């Protein structure tokens, strides 16, 4: 993958994230959640800034070690994490759709706790954009971590009752087919993110 194509894909994903968070902000507005409007508005802005900053870091990246990801590998890691963030954001929007159907309003505590799910991939982007091996390892952990955590929560319910209505499993909540598909895609994407990072780590180990 050339740097030019990688930049285009990255910016398309950053744009998709901005649009998705704009939709999330709109859903929060419709759901009469002013805190949600502010939090998702700021979250969208943060993703744009971090994405822009990450691409600038990659552009100025210098390779000092064979164990350090190459320019193209760093782009792949950033793109992979951006794609995962987009899927998480869509998953979040589906929860907002569910909440509107139930007449449920998000609490400030739930909105703040929910930010946690975005952090692993955001941290992975920051590390990967700097050409660090830790960026590969963070991506290797973040994808499967999200997959397992989301499946655990939505199939078995919460261990810690901090997720509002979603402390209960999807079975208990009786969610529709769309929500099941969104969950399945989120889990599959998390596994694929781990596979990509594992492949890159294997390439680095050969050198």
Summarize pLDDT for 73-82 with one digit per residue, the tens: 999 999 999 9
- Domain limits at 174? 3-206
Predicted confidence (pLDDT) at residue 64 exceeds the cutoff of 60: no
Nearest to 92 by CA among 12, 177, 24, 29: 24
Question: What b-and-e string marks burial along 102-136, b requiring 16 or more CB atoms within 10 Å of the CB?
Answer: eebebeeebbeebeebbebbbbbbbbbbbbbbebb
Token pair, residue 203, equals 């390439």
pTM to 2 decimals?
0.95
pLDDT for 127-181, tens place per residue? Answer: 999 989 999 999 999 999 999 999 999 999 999 899 999 999 999 999 999 999 9
Q: How many folded domains does the chain comprise?
A: 1
């Amino acid at each position: 993958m050339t740097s030019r194509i990688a930049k285009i894909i990255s910016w398309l994903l950053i744009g998709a994230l901005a649009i998705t968070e704009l939709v999330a902000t709109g859903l929060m507005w419709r759901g009469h959640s002013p805190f949600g409007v502010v939090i998702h508005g700021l979250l969208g802005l943060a993703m744009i800034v971090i994405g822009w900053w990450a691409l600038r870091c990659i552009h100025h990246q210098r390779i000092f070690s064979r164990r350090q990801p190459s320019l193209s590998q760093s782009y792949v890691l950033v793109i992979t994490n951006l794609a995962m963030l987009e899927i998480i954001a869509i998953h979040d929007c589906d929860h907002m759709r569910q909440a509107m159907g139930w007449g449920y309003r998000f609490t400030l505590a739930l909105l703040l706790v929910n930010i946690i799910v975005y952090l692993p991939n955001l941290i992975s982007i920051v590390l990967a954009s700097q050409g660090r091996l830790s960026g590969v390892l963070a991506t290797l952990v973040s994808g499967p971590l999200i997959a397992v955590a989301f499946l655990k929560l939505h199939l078995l319910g919460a261990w810690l009752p901090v997720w509002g209505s979603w402390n209960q499993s999807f079975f208990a909540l009786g969610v529709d087919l769309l929500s099941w598909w969104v969950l399945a895609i989120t889990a599959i994407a998390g596994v694929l993110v781990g596979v990509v990072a594992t492949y890159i780590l294997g390439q680095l180990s050969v050198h």
